[in-house]
Amino acid sequence: MPDMNKNEGRLFLEDEHFKILADHSPNMIFINMRGRIIYVNDKCEEIMGYTREEYYSGSFDFMTLIAPEYRAHVKNNFMMHLEGREVPPAEYKLLTKSGESINAIHSTKLIDLEGEKAILGIITDITERKKAEKLLGESEQRYREIVDNSLVGIYRTSIKGQILFVNDALAKMMEYESPEAMMRENVMVMYKNPDDRAKLIRRINKEKRVDRFEVNLLTKNGNEKKAILSAVLDGEVLSGMIMDLTDRARLEESLKERLDELEKFYSMAIGRELKMAELKKEIAELKEELKRQGKGLKDDIS
């Protein structure tokens, strides 16, 4: 059992410096003796909602402050203290007077108060931190879902070509069975023309950001993809997006071929129309000539 100063507890209760520090502490501070609370600071009143009179009444049960699912654990820690064993800080849920649940870290120490054992406790309210962590986790999850379900490929690579991250869309675009499988490759195997990668690196080192960089890529199965990518340099890491233009390029090529056909057909149709006009004119002229000839023949007979 560790040595304890018999005046330690009295100093806690009577020293004005302790009281000033305790009442200005952002943490809740209390002293528990034989299950009764004999000292609380201002934060205990402010956060938990009980008055000092209520805390100090002989009928107040310290376990009222502990959420039911943690009470057995807290009692066990108190017993460990009374046996002289060290108890590490633990995270509990507390219940305020109004029934609100609070997340807290509970640190305790065994002290001697006028020859009797007592427990000095410091409680740190981490409720807001927990809420922030939860919101951050939810935000990261939503971001992950957006990235994984994106129709655009998203990537991170090192300057040297190590693939650090790809989303599902990019792995599917490049015909890999999973992002993990694609991340085992070096990015150079995906460039049809290695000079395109060198050109990208030169530009990104100079400009730190590259937009609408057109490139031909090769999938795992050797199929060619026309793509446009963006890249941002952060230290030694490139990150950005890749958009597959292959289908659009094929559509544009198909439309161009169709347009060429239509233009040829139009030219033929226009040419044919002009020829038809000329033929109609020639027929009309022949008819007029025949009429004149027929009239002349009649005149000669008469």
The mean per-residue pLDDT over the stretch 124-152 comes to 70
pLDDT for the residue 302: 45
Asked if residues 38 and 14 have their Cβ atoms less than 8 Å apart, the reply is no
Q: Is the pLDDT of residue 51 over 90?
A: yes
The mean per-residue pLDDT over the stretch 12-37 comes to 78
Q: Is the pLDDT of residue 136 over 80?
A: no
- The count of C-alpha atoms lying within 13 angstroms of the C-alpha of 67, restricted to the half-sphere facing its C-beta, is 14
Give the global pTM. 0.46
pLDDT for the residue 262: 53
* pLDDT level of residue 297 (50, 70, 90 thresholds): very low
Give the sheet arrangement for strand 237-244, strand by strand: 163-166, 153-158, 237-244, 224-234, 209-218
Average pLDDT, the chain: 79
Asked if residues 40 and 23 have their Cβ atoms less than 8 Å apart, the reply is no
Per DSSP, what are the bridge partners of residue 94? 66, 102
- Identify the residue with better confidence: 267 or 48: 48
- Identify the residue with better confidence: 7 or 115: 115
The mean per-residue pLDDT over the stretch 61-69 comes to 92
pLDDT for the residue 116: 84
- Dist CA 122 CA 134 (whole Å): 24
Tens-place pLDDT, residues 150-204: 568 889 999 999 999 998 889 988 999 999 999 999 999 999 999 999 999 999 9
Q: Which residue has the tokens 């963006």?
A: 230
pLDDT for the residue 96: 95
Secondary structure (DSSP) of 112-123:
EETTEEEEEEEE
* pLDDT level of residue 293 (50, 70, 90 thresholds): low
The mean per-residue pLDDT over the stretch 1-8 comes to 39
Tens-place pLDDT, residues 210-227: 988 999 999 999 999 888
The mean per-residue pLDDT over the stretch 45-69 comes to 92
3-state helix, strand, coil in the chain (%, to 5): 50, 25, 20
Annotate 57-88 with b (16+ C-beta within 10 A) or e (fewer): eeeeebeebbbeebeeebeebbeebeeeeebe
- The count of C-alpha atoms lying within 13 angstroms of the C-alpha of 19, restricted to the half-sphere facing its C-beta, is 7
Burial class (CB in 10 A: 0-12, 13-18, 19+), 116: exposed
- Identify the residue with better confidence: 143 or 207: 207
Reported as type and span, the H/E element at residue 296 is helix 246-301
∠ CA(110), CA(112), CA(118), 5° rounding?
55
Q: Of the given ranges (81-90, 133-142, 240-249), which has the lowest mean pLDDT?
A: 133-142
